[in-house]
A and B are shown apart, each in its own frame.
Chain A
Amino acid sequence: MNTYRYPKSRELFARAAKVIPGGVYGHLGPAESCFIPVEAFPMFGDRAEGAHFWDVDGNRFIDYMCAYGPNILGYNDPEVDAAALAALKKGNCTTSPPSLLIDFAEEMVDTVAMADWAFFAKNGGDATSFALMIARAATGRDKAILVKGGYHGVAPWTQKKGQPGITNADVSNNLYVDWNDIAAVERLVSEHRGQIAVFMATPYSHPVFTDSELPKPGYWAAIRKICDDNGIVLAIDDVRCGFRLDMAGSDHYFGFKADLMCFCKAIANGYNVSAVCGIDALKDAASSIMYTGSYWLSAMPLAAGLACVRKMRRIDAARVTQSIGKELTEGLVVAGKAHGFDLRVSGVPSMWYMRIADDDSLLLHQEWVAECVMRGVYFTNHHNLFINTAISKEDIALSLEVADEAFAIVRGRHPKA
């Protein structure tokens, strides 16, 4: 198989480095995205369609990162794009908000089992910060219990003490527990009685560099009860899992009911809108907070979100992505085994995490991922991966062929590993 080269990407990155901090900052950049080695990865994309994107050098990739989640129906989904473009043409970012706002809120309330209302913003981080504020406004308390390794965005309160730009005051109200540790939550609640506003977590643990972990049996029921008994708001950050586990919400998938749910990523197939859904009892608290932004009520993303949620419901995107993910990951494990590698897959198959577990440095895994990327199968080596509904049988077959060749190459380099 031919391997890709990226001369144009390199050229563009050199240009970017001159005028942009870090060249490409954040999760799409070479540092956060763990391009190891950097030569194996494209830096800039040119176009995309369905399950694929093409980089600026014309290389095509089957995209298992899905832009880190937003791409759920395939790039340029005709239904979503048509709705978005129609809204754009009619008038976008207008002084009076479009009534689409109501349509979309009604759709969310209909779709998400726990939702009595919906509130829209732009990014996942807008939603998680708002959930924290709602909980504080409703309870009159300051503190938040968070799970170690959880990611809720980049607002100062979500970061760690001692990191650049973060003051101790930014994080002084955070209390941390290990995932699946009910006793630790009980301990914190009794140590800080009457002070905890919110327990916020993702529906299951999906940290970077580490296997994902589902809730152990009874975990969410126990957390729900602790929250109920102590007047604590239970907020679920469904930004990443949302619509890839269950169209009715990931709390529904795991059999409990959250008080607040944060959505983003898959909600609009790449258009910029996020949402907080809540129960009736928190509606007044939500409306009491001054929280808005220049583009939050723009028509185009609202139209895209509405069309996306409708289509996801119609085709049951959560079920479809899980079944594609299952087929792919089972094939990957078999391919790994054939070359003597222990490829560990964890999490829900629509957003699985994987790593070659034969060393504790992830070096073998990084090599394997790099070989896959250079053959047109875009994985990352540090983060969970994502499935979209446009991935075809042919895509899976080609991905498994590439994976097999990549395993063979890594085995050739490390006969004894």
Chain B
Amino acid sequence: MPDPATMANVNLYAVLRNIEDLVTLDEEAGKLIAGRREAIGFSVHGGPRGVLSFDGKGGGSFVRGAAKTSISLWFSGPEHFNSMVAGSGSPIPLKGLTKLSFLTGPFTMLTKRLESYLRPSPEALADPAIFKATTELTLYTAGFALAEVGNADPVGMLNAGRIPDGIIEIGIKDGPAVSLTAKGGCLSAAKGRTGKARASMTFADYQAASGVLGGRRDAMTALGLGEVAMSGFIPMLEHMNKVLGLVPRYLA
């Protein structure tokens, strides 16, 4: 059973977070926020908090925690927030009431665009550009969700608690990567490489990353086929992979 509090963290910190990249990866998404300077605050009672901002020049960014906002959305609890992300509930706007049209219009469209990347149709995947963007966003989603599941899901915490301290790099060869820092059993994710990884899991290419992260290829087989390479202090990856195995429950 997915735990609602973990799900809310995953939804904000791993799923919606992707909009910061989506606006540059996806032309349509870029158009939706063209010229808009907004900072949308999400505040979930007893749950996650973060701010998604658009800089008016096409760029997006997400920060965890509190920051200055132009629109503030409040949710009564993790379940309330999860239902909004699932498309069946609405937030309570606390600030920026005059900007409701941005929420119901462009923002809703952005979340739909995001969904089309995270749950792509076979036709969409046939387009090389969409395939690449989808895989990159899936990598980020998996990496950030991994940290949330490891920090909050009861079984995830057991396995994350066994990860020796250090940085794990999960990336695509010559492509994007997520760095996961484990410290005292707590995980935090960040995009990019640090050059200081103690262990790494590297997909040979986008195809390989898409296969494993999309659940079409098990990691063990992929390893034997050379589609993914692991190196460094393997116990970190061994326990991390047990957490990664739980992630799909939260992205379903």
Query: In the complex, are the beta carbons of B235 and A13 less than 8 A apart?
Result: no
Within A31-68, which residues are at the interface with B (CB < 8 Å)? Answer: 31, 34-39, 43
Q: A36-B230, A361-B233, A362-B232 are in contact. Are A23 and B198 (CB under 8 A)?
A: no
Q: A218 at interface (Cβ–Cβ under 8 A)?
A: no
Query: In the complex, are the beta carbons of A38 and B220 less than 8 A apart?
Result: no
Q: B224 at interface (Cβ–Cβ under 8 A)?
A: yes
Count residues of B near A (Cβ-Cβ below 8 Å): 26
Give Cα A190–Cα B6 distance, bound, in whole angstroms: 38
CB neighbours of A164 from chain B (8 A):
242, 245
Beta-carbon nearest neighbor of B153 in chain A: A162
Query: In the complex, are the beta carbons of B224 and A43 less than 8 A apart?
Result: yes
Q: B141 at interface (Cβ–Cβ under 8 A)?
A: no
Query: In the complex, are the beta carbons of A22 and B221 less than 8 A apart?
Result: yes
Within B187-227, which residues are at the interface with A (CB < 8 Å)? Answer: 197-199, 218-221, 223-226
Q: B229 at interface (Cβ–Cβ under 8 A)?
A: yes
Q: B82 at interface (Cβ–Cβ under 8 A)?
A: no
Query: In the complex, are the beta carbons of A162 and B220 less than 8 A apart?
Result: no
Beta-carbon nearest neighbor of A20 in chain B: B221
Q: A143 at interface (Cβ–Cβ under 8 A)?
A: no
Q: A102 at interface (Cβ–Cβ under 8 A)?
A: no
Give Cα A362–Cα B232 distance, bound, in whole angstroms: 5
Q: A162-B155, A164-B242, A361-B198 are in contact. Are A38 and B229 (CB under 8 A)?
A: yes
Query: In the complex, are the beta carbons of B221 and A17 less than 8 A apart?
Result: yes
Chain A interface, DSSP helix/strand/loop, else mixed: loop
CB neighbours of B166 from chain A (8 A):
360-361
Q: A101 at interface (Cβ–Cβ under 8 A)?
A: no
Q: A25 at interface (Cβ–Cβ under 8 A)?
A: yes
Query: In the complex, are the beta carbons of A209 and B242 less than 8 A apart?
Result: no
Give Cα A8–Cα B245 distance, bound, in whole angstroms: 31
Query: In the complex, are the beta carbons of B224 and A23 less than 8 A apart?
Result: yes
Query: In the complex, are the beta carbons of A162 and B159 less than 8 A apart?
Result: yes
User: Which residue from A21, A36, A163, A209 sits with its C-beta under 8 Å from B218?
Assistant: A21
Mask for A331-350, Cβ within 8 A of B = 1, else 0? 00000000000000000000
Q: A363 at interface (Cβ–Cβ under 8 A)?
A: yes
Beta-carbon nearest neighbor of B165 in chain A: A360
Mask for B144-165, Cβ within 8 A of A = 1, else 0? 0000000000011011001000
Query: In the complex, are the beta carbons of B159 and A163 less than 8 A apart?
Result: yes
Give Cα A10–Cα B227 distance, bound, in whole angstroms: 12
CB neighbours of B218 from chain A (8 A):
21-22
Query: In the complex, are the beta carbons of B231 and A363 less than 8 A apart?
Result: yes
Q: B25 at interface (Cβ–Cβ under 8 A)?
A: no
Query: In the complex, are the beta carbons of B229 and A37 less than 8 A apart?
Result: yes
Q: A13-B225, A36-B229, A366-B231 are in contact. Are A360 and B158 (CB under 8 A)?
A: no
Beta-carbon nearest neighbor of A381 in chain B: B234
- The smallest beta-carbon distance between B152 and chain A, in angstroms, is 14
CB neighbours of B245 from chain A (8 A):
164
CB neighbours of A162 from chain B (8 A):
155-156, 158-159, 242
User: Which residue from A10, A23, A161, A360 sits with its C-beta under 8 Å from B221?
Assistant: A23
- The smallest beta-carbon distance between A27 and chain B, in angstroms, is 12
Q: A249 at interface (Cβ–Cβ under 8 A)?
A: no
Give Cα A360–Cα B196 distance, bound, in whole angstroms: 11
Looking at A29, A161, A361, the one whose CB has the most chain B CB atoms below 10 A away is: A361
Give Cα A25–Cα B235 distance, bound, in whole angstroms: 18
User: Which residue from A21, A43, A163, A362 sits with its C-beta under 8 Å from B233?
Assistant: A362
Give Cα A23–Cα B227 distance, bound, in whole angstroms: 13
Mask for B228-252, Cβ within 8 A of A = 1, else 0? 0111111100000010010000000
Give Cα A361–Cα B195 distance, bound, in whole angstroms: 13
CB neighbours of A36 from chain B (8 A):
229-231, 234
User: Which residue from A22, A37, A39, A208 sits with its C-beta under 8 Å from B231?
Assistant: A37
Beta-carbon nearest neighbor of A30 in chain B: B224
User: Which residue from A10, A17, A37, A163 sits with its C-beta under 8 Å from B242?
Assistant: A163
Query: In the complex, are the beta carbons of B233 and A360 less than 8 A apart?
Result: yes
CB neighbours of B225 from chain A (8 A):
13-14, 17, 23
- The smallest beta-carbon distance between B207 and chain A, in angstroms, is 15
CB neighbours of B230 from chain A (8 A):
34, 36
Q: A22-B218, A163-B159 are in contact. Are A31 and B223 (CB under 8 A)?
A: yes
Q: A21-B218, A31-B219, A162-B159 are in contact. Are A362 and B234 (CB under 8 A)?
A: yes
Q: A24 at interface (Cβ–Cβ under 8 A)?
A: yes
CB neighbours of B156 from chain A (8 A):
162
Query: In the complex, are the beta carbons of B223 and A30 less than 8 A apart?
Result: yes
Query: In the complex, are the beta carbons of B234 and A209 less than 8 A apart?
Result: yes
Query: In the complex, are the beta carbons of B224 and A29 less than 8 A apart?
Result: yes
Query: In the complex, are the beta carbons of B220 and A31 less than 8 A apart?
Result: yes
**21 contacts across the A-B interface (CB closer than 8 A):** A10-B226, A13-B225, A17-B224, A21-B221, A23-B221, A23-B224, A30-B220, A34-B230, A35-B223, A36-B231, A38-B223, A38-B226, A39-B226, A160-B162, A360-B166, A360-B198, A361-B198, A361-B199, A361-B233, A363-B231, A366-B232
Nearest first, the 8 A-B pairs at minimum CB distance are A162-B158, A22-B220, A30-B224, A23-B224, A361-B232, A31-B220, A162-B155, A361-B198
Residues of A near any B CB (own CB < 8 A): 10, 13-14, 16-17, 21-25, 29-31, 34-39, 43, 160-164, 208-209, 360-363, 366, 382
Other than the given A21-B218, A21-B221, 17 more pairs (CB < 8 A) read A10-B226, A13-B225, A22-B224, A23-B220, A23-B224, A30-B220, A31-B219, A38-B229, A43-B224, A160-B158, A162-B155, A163-B159, A164-B245, A208-B235, A209-B234, A361-B198, A362-B232
